[in-house]
Structure 1
Amino acid sequence: MRLNEKTKILGRGVILVPYEARHVPKYHDWMSNETLRQLTASEELSLDEEYEMQRSWREDSDKLTFIILDATIYAQNQDEIAAMVGDTNLFLHPDPDDSDQQVAEAEIMIAEPAARGKSYGREAMLLMLKYAQSQDQLKLAKFQVKIDMENSISLHLFKTFQFVETCRVEIFHEITLERTITPEWISWLDQQVEPRIGCY
């Protein structure tokens, strides 16, 4: 999505930057890991296909993505590639209850093993939720996640964000959780993160 192509979001432990072509080789290396592909329900792509996917993330109006940087590593030498630890995405689709509104399906991945267990995923997702709900042109009514039943860490994470289970599909081994955007929830979100928005 062109919306965030010039946007950098600075948190305490992480920085979110647009997904650029220069990030693709490291991202492709991550996705060669079968476990990561299973956890993210992703298909294995060739490097050329990965570059094409990056272009679609940049250009398609129904996709929004940021690369997650470790802020400490980035501060050492301003090297985005060395600081890359994961990504966070939104897929947008019409709200079945209101055709003038949209639902944003959220995803988060911390790909670097050394970056796990440091609350980077929590902060990055909160920053993404805060950014997206503040963009009036997205016309968001709610956020949604679809998580494998065995992924207890992600299920717990989104429950701490006040998402609630709305569907469970045994055949796909998948649980759907949703969070309607309300003034009360936005107030809660404001208490969780204080993002600084900069130009990229």
Structure 2
Amino acid sequence: MRLNEKTKLLGKKVVLVPYEARHVPKYHDWMSNETLRELTASEELTLSEEYLMQLSWRQDTDKLTFIVLAADIYARDNDEIAAMVGDTNLFLRHEPDTNQKVAEAEIMIAEPQARGKGYGREAMLLMLKYAQSQLELNKFEVKIDMDNDVSLRLFESFQFVETGRVEVFHEVTMEREITTEWIGWLDKQVELTIESYSV
């Protein structure tokens, strides 16, 4: 999505930047890991296919993505590739039966040494706040592997509620209506600082 191509989101632990072509080799290396692909329900792509996918993330109006950087590494080295620890995505859709605009959210902390440090939590909160403030959305949704207890607990802590299970896909669906009360809660969890981003 071109909405965020010149946008950087600043948190305390993480910095979110647009997914650029220069990020692709490291991202592709992450996705060569079978466990990560299973957790994210992703298909293995060739490097050239990954570059095409990066382009689609930039151009398609129904996708929004940021690369997650560890703020301390980025501040020290000013090296986005060295600071890359994961990504966060939204897939947007319109539900014709309810006339609602829904964003399906994803978060991945790919670097093992970066897990358990709160990066995923802050990155997801920044993404939720950014999307809530910039897009006309009615609801967020996540689809999580039934065995992914860390992600299930994370989204429970964001006040998402389980709305369905699909055994054949081994998947739990959770949703969060965007209400005035929830926006107030979100504002207490994270301070959204937006800066201009350029390559």
Question: Is 2:78 the counterpart of 1:70?
Answer: no
Q: Which letter does structure 1 place at the counterpart of 2:196?
A: C
Normalised TM-score (structure 2): 0.97
Aligned to 2:164: 167
- SS at the partner of 2:32? coil
Contact 1:103 1:142 in 2 (8 A): yes
Post-superposition CA distance 1:134-174 (Å, at most 9, x none): 01xx3210000000100111000000000000011111111
- SS at the partner of 1:140? coil
Aligned to 2:28: 28
Aligned to 2:49: 49
Aligned to 1:114: 113
Runs of 4+ deviating beyond 4 Å: none
Q: Distance in 1 between matches of 2:60 and 2:163?
A: 28
Q: Distance in 2 between matches of 1:68 and 1:113?
A: 14
Post-superposition CA distance 1:99-141 (Å, at most 9, x none): 3x31000000000011000010000000000000001xx3210
Q: Distance in 2 between matches of 1:25 and 1:71?
A: 21
More off after superposition, 163-172 vs 175-184: 163-172
Aligned positions of 1:113-152 closer than 5 A = 113-135=112-134, 138-152=135-149
- SS at the partner of 2:12? coil
Q: CA RMSD in A?
A: 0.8
| Offset at residue 95 of structure 1 (A) | 2.6
Q: Distance in 1 between matches of 2:109 and 2:175?
A: 21
Q: 1:184 aligns with which of 181, 184, 188?
A: 181
Contact 1:102 1:142 in 2 (8 A): yes
| Offset at residue 179 of structure 1 (A) | 0.1
Q: Distance in 1 between matches of 2:159 and 2:39?
A: 22
- SS at the partner of 1:150? coil
- Structure 1 portions without partners, runs of 5+: none
| Offset at residue 68 of structure 1 (A) | 0.1
| Offset at residue 97 of structure 1 (A) | 4.4
- Structure 2 portions without partners, runs of 5+: none
Normalised TM-score (structure 1): 0.97
Aligned residues: 197
Q: Distance in 2 between matches of 1:127 and 1:60?
A: 21
- SS at the partner of 1:26? helix
Q: Distance in 1 between matches of 2:143 and 2:180?
A: 24
Q: Which letter does structure 2 place at the counterpart of 1:47?
A: L
Q: Distance in 2 between matches of 1:69 and 1:96?
A: 36
